[in-house]
Amino acid sequence: MKLTIPFKRRTAIWGLGVALLVVLTLWTRQAARSHEETARWAVMNQTLRFGTTTVVVHQVSVVNYGPFRRFYVRYPFSHLIWALSDRIQNSVEGLLYFYGPFPVTPSQSRVTISAEIRYVPEAGTPDLAFSLEGCQDASPDVSVEGTNVIFQDVLTGHIPWTQERFVLTITDRKTGISQTAILRPAKWKTARYKFGDLGAPKPPEAYPVLSDFFNPFSKFLYEGGHMEWKNCLIPDVKDTFPWRRMEVKHKGKVIVPGRKLYTWEGSRPGFENVYYYELQYWEELAMRPFARQKLYFVRWDDTWKVLDVDPLQRETP
């Protein structure tokens, strides 16, 4: 027996479908228009000196939205997608973020000043205060300290999105001496929200991210392949990098970074500002490492790239 749907009911179903399609289309257009999240940043490299301390203002970045701009699926709905693949989970979160009510706030845009503080360890850790003219709710943010250098978002706060000139004042609390840096970015780089992103666009990190180097490095040592890690190298050394120095033959080795992650080395041929971090190789349950190795890196455009690696230095028993 053939099932037939009355004409009026079919018309109602089609009408409901069309109405839902219109609502979804209007909602999508409104969501697309509301997503004006934008990030802009400029690399400055402006230097100020306080005795044996050098402050290099690396980057000014501004975003026109609040600090928490990613939508996460929360309980109890999170349990419904945990069994799915990461790709599907990311797609769901991306859609929820796209259709969520997340207006931008240009009048309360968030500015971040990122700097590098180099110092002589024997003189003690610098004690500096940073202030930005016209900035509200200013405070220091993320900091990563090395043996003789500190990478820090020295100041973050709120400014109008249209602000193009930044007056940064730095005060040495130990001596009371203050200096002012006038930051006028000649050219901004910009990133905007794209459909499907899990969150708003962000400026690049202004200081090295250890996992970007360490994870593929350890994968190379354990699995014996270097194609992934090759992306971490500056283009000039990709064909000449001394891979053999990284082949550590030792049973039960465990790789860990040094306690102080970063050290400012100074200059090497062709590069003015070179840094390194020390890798240490341990046996399980050992009291000290059996070998050490220095990995050198430099700033390269908006990221960091590896320049060289020292020969392995084995510890005496």
Number of residues that this document lists for the chain:
317
Whether the pLDDT of residue 151 is over 60: the answer is yes
- In this structure, of 3-17, 180-194, 202-216, 237-251, the range with the lowest mean pLDDT score is 3-17
Question: What sign has the CA pseudo-torsion 142, 165, 51, 276?
Answer: positive
Is 157:135 a contact under the CB 8 Å cutoff?
Answer: yes
> What is the C-alpha to C-alpha distance for residues 301 and 31, in angstroms, rounded to an integer?
33
Is 9:3 a contact under the CB 8 Å cutoff?
Answer: no
> What is the C-alpha to C-alpha distance for residues 248 and 181, in angstroms, rounded to an integer?
47
What residues does 61 pair with on adjacent strands?
41, 112
> What is the C-alpha to C-alpha distance for residues 140 and 129, in angstroms, rounded to an integer?
9
Whether the pLDDT of residue 196 is over 90: the answer is no
Is 61:112 a contact under the CB 8 Å cutoff?
Answer: yes
- In this structure, of 61-70, 107-116, 174-183, 271-280, the range with the lowest mean pLDDT score is 61-70
- Put simply, whether the predicted model's pTM sits higher than 0.85 gets the answer no
Report pLDDT digits (tens) over 52-93: 999 999 999 999 987 655 555 555 555 566 666 667 777 777
Across the chain, mean pLDDT equals 81
Identity of the amino acid at 243: W
What is the band of 256 on the pLDDT scale with cuts at 50, 70, 90? low
What percent of the chain has pLDDT above 90? 30
Q: Which is more confidently placed, 276 or 196? A: 276
What is the band of 116 on the pLDDT scale with cuts at 50, 70, 90? very high
Q: Which is more confidently placed, 100 or 224? A: 100
Q: Scan for tokens 């929200």, then name that residue.
A: 193
114 phi, psi to nearest 5 deg? -110, 130
Report pLDDT digits (tens) over 23-53: 878 877 777 777 788 999 998 889 999 999 9
> What is the C-alpha to C-alpha distance for residues 260 and 277, in angstroms, rounded to an integer?
8
Report pLDDT digits (tens) over 258-281: 666 789 999 888 888 899 988 888
* Cα Rg, the chain, nearest whole Å: 26
Domains with residue ranges and CATH for the chain: 39-192 (2.60.40), 210-314 (3.10.450)
